[in-house]
């Protein structure tokens, strides 16, 4: 197998994906050592809810309609993701022997959802570097910005679901590796990979809506009373705001 030439998008695309994956892992490992992390979990869950809802409704669905038109295909795929995750969770809860008893079902659901999302991110970054290096750099920055609430929120979700602090950071990193798979698919297959990405966008939106509404919001309602509802609301809005940051800053390529 010959190495790609120096002017190819391989090195910058894979390098950008690596940075997007490694930097949050470093931060999460540092956070995992904090003694007061338990008190931050309700806020991190609220951040995850805001990021999931914002990403599904304000990014993935509009992008899906832009790619696939205004017909019924996008809503049907969103429903498929939503109902599919409901069926998957019911399967997990009625077959407890297939899962670790100490883990809540939404841990696996969230892992599957963010893995699909990270795959899309890798595809977007690689496709942008194929077009031009400046576009690739700006796209990678946009992806990094909207990954911030996801990474920190997912950390809280995994800890709340029964994963240890250190393992929560490592599970997050494992899901981030899907971005390399997405990037490699685009670099190797080019336009043919976009067909898969088009269908994955609305499916991931439905999955995010299900995890946020059916699993995480009830967890917020069960949080201790000392966890102020106003603080949770602020964290939720912060998650939405960070997802919107690339658009607010004038990013229009996603």
254 assigned to some structural domain: no
145 is in which domain, residue-wise? 10-248
Top-ranked range on mean pLDDT: pick from 45-59, 74-88, 97-111, 133-147: 74-88
Average of per-residue pLDDT across 68-79: 94
Percent of the chain with pLDDT over 90: 22
For residue 127, give both structure tokens.
């496709």
Is a pLDDT exceeding 60 seen at residue 20? Answer: yes
> Higher pLDDT residue, 138 or 213?
213
Whether 5 maps to a domain, the answer reads no
Task: Give the separation between CA 208 and CA 54, rounded to whole angstroms.
Answer: 9
Yes or no: say if 206 and 81 are a contact pair by the CB < 8 Å rule.
yes
Q: What is the mean pLDDT of the chain?
A: 82
Is residue 4 domain-resident?
no
| Number of domains present in the structure of the chain | 1
**Distance between CA 249 and CA 72 in Å, rounded?**
31
Residue 2 forms part of a structural domain: no
Distance CA 129, CA 18 (A): 14
Q: How far is it, in rounded angstroms, from Cα 82 to Cα 191?
A: 27
Q: Output the pLDDT for position 2.
A: 40
Residue 143 falls inside a structural domain: yes
Q: Is the confidence at residue 54, as pLDDT, over 80?
A: yes
- Would you say 145 and 25 are in contact if contact means Cβ atoms under 8 Å apart? no
Tens digit of each residue's pLDDT (9 = 90 or more) over 241-250: 888 876 776 5
Asked if residues 106 and 158 have their Cβ atoms less than 8 Å apart, the reply is no
pTM comes to 0.78
User: What tens digit of pLDDT does each residue of 180-203 get?
Assistant: 999 998 888 876 777 777 888 899
Residue 23: burial class (beta carbons within 10 Å; 0-12, 13-18, 19+): middle
- Give the tens place of pLDDT for each residue, 29-42: 666 665 566 677 88
Mapped onto helix, strand or coil, the DSSP state of residue 45 is: helix
Distance CA 67, CA 63 (A): 6
Is 146 contained in some domain?
A: yes
pLDDT of residue 92: 78
Read off φ and ψ for residue 165, nearest 5 degrees: -60, -50
Residue 33: the pLDDT is 64
More confident residue, 144 or 197: 144
* pLDDT given at position 254: 42
The residue length of the chain stands at 254
Q: Is residue 234 part of a domain?
A: yes
Please tell me the distance from the alpha carbon of residue 252 to that of residue 254, in angstroms, as a whole number. 6
């Amino acid at each position: 197998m010959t190495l790609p030439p120096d002017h190819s998008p391989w090195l910058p695309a894979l390098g950008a994906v690596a940075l997007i994956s490694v930097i949050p892992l470093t931060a999460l490992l540092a956070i995992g050592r904090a003694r007061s992390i338990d008190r931050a979990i309700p806020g991190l869950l609220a951040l995850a809810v805001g990021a999931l809802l914002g990403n599904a409704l304000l990014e993935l669905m509009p992008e899906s309609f832009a790619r696939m038109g205004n017909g019924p295909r996008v809503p049907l795929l969103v429903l498929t993701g939503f109902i599919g995750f409901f069926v998957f969770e019911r399967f997990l809860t009625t077959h407890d022997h297939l899962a670790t008893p100490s883990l809540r079902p939404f841990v696996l659901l969230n892992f599957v959802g963010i893995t699909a999302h990270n795959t899309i991110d890798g595809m977007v970054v690689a496709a942008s570097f194929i077009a031009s290096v400046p576009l690739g750099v700006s796209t990678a920055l946009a992806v990094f910005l909207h990954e911030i609430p996801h990474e920190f929120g997912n950390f809280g979700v995994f800890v709340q679901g029964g994963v240890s602090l250190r393992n929560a950071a490592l599970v997050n990193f494992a899901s981030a590796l899907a971005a390399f798979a997405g990037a490699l698919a685009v670099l190797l297959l080019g336009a043919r990979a976009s067909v898969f990405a088009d269908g994955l966008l609305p499916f991931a939106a439905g999955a995010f809506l299900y995890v946020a509404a059916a699993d995480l919001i009830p967890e917020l309602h069960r949080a201790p009373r000392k966890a102020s509802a106003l603080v949770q609301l602020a964290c939720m809005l912060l998650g939405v705001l960070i997802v919107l940051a690339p658009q607010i800053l004038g990013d229009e390529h996603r």
